[in-house]
């Protein structure tokens, strides 16, 4: 068995005692406040870090509910920026989607907004601001939203693992530079320090043979993470909150920004050993979750888990469905010579770069005045996505889950599709949720750099 190396710490820092959690465990009843906080993100011995967080922690403590429940939260904005809450992956009414300028006004510092909606689907979701998202997510405004099935599968522990990527300086302060054009035009703002639930590593005890549900959320602003399992026999049971019809064993999971994976993992390591979920990087594997294994030697593993009950999502009928193209261009080493801005004016690259825009979708940099398509309610729309850039992109659709259309048949339901450089892939979704919905790259630096569009589903 490969033993993961010690967690990397800030550039040049020696590995020190691990940070202890510095977060309030309470889920502030009915008020959801975005506020500054000061937490021990870096290892013990380093200064605490000023963050912005829901309830003042990063990530926020999160919300747990049951499928069919209503979420009612008065959002209070106590950060020195306009903000909002977007409930990522939740199929909710358009007015609750949290997109300022499209579904609601921005919430100024000191302002409030009441979010109130039902949860149609069980699964692993999360929430974050949808204004100035790169900076606000990058300073810590992320939290899980876990929706339990009416009858959850039997497990010995149900663990949520929210991954955040931080760019910290040597004093453990969050680095500025939110407008950095180099980041925007490349892989985005990649940090130098990852946390899981706000700590360098999450650690639990479990018996040999125990069954764990791991809900992994990539809340990084831009980083793609490859996760690996050691000493666990894991099955992938859901992606982006949606159960998979076919449960398959996995040893690795690739998650683009905003994507989630649910694993049911049985502890295969022996008592006295450790099992791990790791993040696999070029220079080695870093611990994300460490399981100290106890119990009896030679414990039998359980049979493979059954699929989770499906969510009530309308399936796209892609045969004969209308298709639109979504062509991504720009970025470093890209071929975007010019693009239109929201005002319809065609501008050369240099002019766009001065406005912070380095990417375009269908020739428009930034939010277009016109929707990508107007779709009748109930219609299936196919989107042919063309990544005509040298960079990966995590394409996210609001208000709906889609399936990829492939030669081998429809792919799993997802809300975010990770596209590699030069890939062309097609998705289809049943447009059953009226309103204006964004389609954008969830690498938040790319979104800030122009990768945004929207669709209109007619009522």
Contact residues for ligand C2O (CB under 6 A)?
86, 88, 128, 130, 258, 396, 398, 438, 440, 442
Q: What DSSP line would sit under 42-95, residue for residue?
A: SPTTSPPEEEEEETTBSS---EEEETT-EEEEEEEE-SSS-B--EEET----GG
Minimum gap (Å) between residue 424 Cβ and Cu ion? 15
Q: Decide if residue 199 touches Cu ion (CB under 5 A).
A: no
- Please compute, for residue 456, the number of CA atoms within 13 A of its CA located in the half-sphere on the CB side: 9
Q: Note whether 184 binds Cu ion by CB under 5 A.
A: no
CB-nearer residue toward ligand C2O: 23 or 88: 88
212's tokens = 């764990």
Report what 441 binds from ligand C2O, Cu ion, none; CB cut-off 5-8 Å by kind: Cu ion
Distance CA 214, CA 237 (A): 10
Residue 393 near which of ligand C2O, Cu ion, none (CB within 5-8 Å, type-dependent): Cu ion
Selection from ligand C2O, Cu ion, none that 398 binds (CB < 5 to 8 A by kind) is: ligand C2O
* Smallest separation, CB 127 to ligand C2O (Å): 8
CB of 134 to ligand C2O, least distance (A): 12
Class of residue 344 by CB neighbours under 10 A (exposed 0-12, middle 13-18, buried 19+): exposed
Give the integer Cα–Cα distance in Å for 369 and 55: 36
Tell me how far apart the alpha carbons of residues 132 and 119 are, in angstroms, rounded to a whole number: 26
Q: How far is Cα 386 from Cα 408, in angstroms, rounded to an integer?
A: 19
| Cβ closest to Cu ion, residue 375 vs residue 385 | 385
Does residue number 128 form part of the binding site for Cu ion (CB under 5 A)?
Answer: no
The answer to the question of residue 225 lying near Cu ion (CB under 5 A) is no
Q: How far is CA 257 from CA 126, 163, 177, 214, in A?
A: 12, 10, 20, 17
- Are the C-beta atoms of 448 and 288 separated by less than 8 Å? no
Least Å distance, CB 188 to Cu ion, is 7
Structure tokens that stand for 167 in this block: 């760019």
CB of 309 to Cu ion, least distance (A): 33
Nearest distance from residue 377's CB to Cu ion, in Å? Answer: 29
Which listed range, 28-36, 286-294, 392-400, 419-427, lies at the site for Cu ion (CB under 5 A)?
Answer: 392-400
Residue 425 touching Cu ion (CB under 5 A): no
* Of 29-37, 152-160, 300-308, 386-394: span binding Cu ion (CB under 5 A): 386-394
Q: Which of 369, 421 has the CB closer to Cu ion?
A: 421
User: If binding is defined by CB under 5 A, does position 446 make contact with Cu ion?
Assistant: yes
**The tokens of 8 are what?**
């990397």
Q: What whole-number distance in Å separates Cα of residue 397 and Cα of residue 409?
A: 20
Q: Which two tokens stand for residue 90?
A: 């939740």
| Residue 86 binds which of ligand C2O, Cu ion, none (CB < 5-8 A, kind-dependent) | ligand C2O
Calculate Rg over the CA atoms of the chain: 21
Judged by CB under 5 A, the residue of 186, 223, 393, 400 near Cu ion is 393
Q: Binding Cu ion by CB under 5 A: which of 161, 441, 444, 455?
A: 441
C-alpha 279: how far from chain center: 16
Count Cα neighbours of 53 within 13 Å in the Cβ-side half-sphere.
26
Judged by CB, which is closer to Cu ion: 163, or 443?
Answer: 443
Q: Which residue is nearest to ligand C2O (CB)?
A: 88
Residue number, 221 or 318, with CB nearest to ligand C2O: 221
| Strand partners for 236 | 248, 263
Strands (E) located in 175-273: 193-196, 202-207, 211-218, 225-230, 232-239, 242-250, 252-255, 260-267
| Least distance in angstroms from the C-beta of 337 to Cu ion | 19
Number of residues near Cu ion (by CB under 5 A): 4
Compute the distance between CA of residue 459 and CA of residue 452 in angstroms, rounded to an integer. Answer: 23
Distance between CA 179 and CA 201 in Å, rounded?
A: 30
C-alpha 347: how far from chain center: 32
Between 40 and 160, CB nearer to ligand C2O: 160
Which residue number, 140 or 331, has a Cβ lying nearer to Cu ion?
331
Q: How far is the CB of 193 from ligand C2O (least distance, A)?
A: 22
Q: How far is the CB of 111 from ligand C2O (least distance, A)?
A: 21
Name the site residues for Cu ion (rule: CB under 5 A).
Answer: 393, 441, 443, 446
């Amino acid at each position: 068995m490969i033993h993961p190396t010690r967690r990397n710490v800030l550039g040049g820092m020696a590995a020190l005692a691990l940070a202890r959690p510095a977060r309030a465990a309470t889920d502030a009843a009915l008020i959801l406040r975005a506020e500054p906080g000061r937490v021990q993100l870096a290892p013990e011995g380093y200064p605490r870090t000023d963050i912005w967080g829901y309830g003042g922690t990063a990530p926020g403590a999160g919300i747990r509910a049951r499928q069919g429940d209503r979420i009612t939260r008065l959002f209070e904005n106590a950060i020195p920026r306009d903000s909002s809450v977007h409930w990522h992956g939740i199929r909710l009414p358009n007015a609750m989607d949290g997109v300022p300028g499209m579904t609601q006004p921005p919430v100024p510092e000191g302002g409030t907004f009441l979010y109130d909606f039902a949860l149609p689907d069980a699964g692993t979701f999360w929430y974050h601001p949808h204004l100035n998202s790169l900076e606000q997510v990058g300073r810590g405004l992320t939290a899980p939203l876990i929706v339990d099935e009416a009858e959850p599968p039997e497990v010995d522990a149900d663990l949520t693992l929210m991954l955040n990527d931080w760019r910290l300086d040597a004093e453990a302060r969050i680095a500025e530079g939110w407008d950095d054009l180099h980041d925007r035009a490349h892989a985005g703002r990649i940090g130098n320090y990852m946390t899981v639930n706000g700590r360098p590593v999450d650690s639990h005890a479990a018996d040999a043979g125990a069954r764990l549900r791991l809900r992994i959320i990539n809340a990084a602003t831009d980083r793609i993470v490859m996760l690996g399992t050691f000493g666990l026999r894991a099955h992938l049971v859901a992606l982006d909150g949606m159960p998979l019809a076919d449960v398959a064993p996995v040893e690795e999971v690739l998650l683009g920004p905003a994507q989630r994976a649910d694993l049911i993992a049985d502890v295969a390591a022996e008592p006295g050993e450790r099992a791990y979920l790791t993040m696999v990087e070029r220079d080695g594997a870093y611990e994300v979750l460490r399981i100290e294994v106890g119990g009896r030697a030679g414990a039998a593993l359980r049979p493979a888990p059954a699929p989770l009950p499906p969510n009530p999502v309308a399936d796209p009928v892609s045969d004969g469905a209308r298709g639109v193209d979504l062509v991504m261009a720009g970025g470093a080493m890209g071929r975007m010579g010019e693009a239109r801005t929201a005002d319809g004016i065609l501008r050369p690259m240099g002019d766009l770069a001065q406005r912070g825009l380095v990417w375009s979708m269908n020739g428009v940099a930034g939010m277009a005045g016109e929707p990508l398509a107007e779709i009748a309610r109930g219609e299936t729309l196919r989107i042919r996505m063309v990544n005509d850039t040298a960079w990966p992109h995590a394409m996210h659709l609001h208000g709906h889950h889609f399936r990829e259309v492939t030669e081998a048949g429809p792919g799993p339901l997802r809300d975010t599709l990770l596209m590699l450089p030069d890939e062309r892939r097609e998705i289809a979704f049943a447009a059953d949720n009226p309103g204006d919905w964004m389609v954008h790259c969830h690498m938040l630096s790319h979104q800030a750099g122009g990768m945004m569009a929207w669709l209109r589903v007619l009522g």
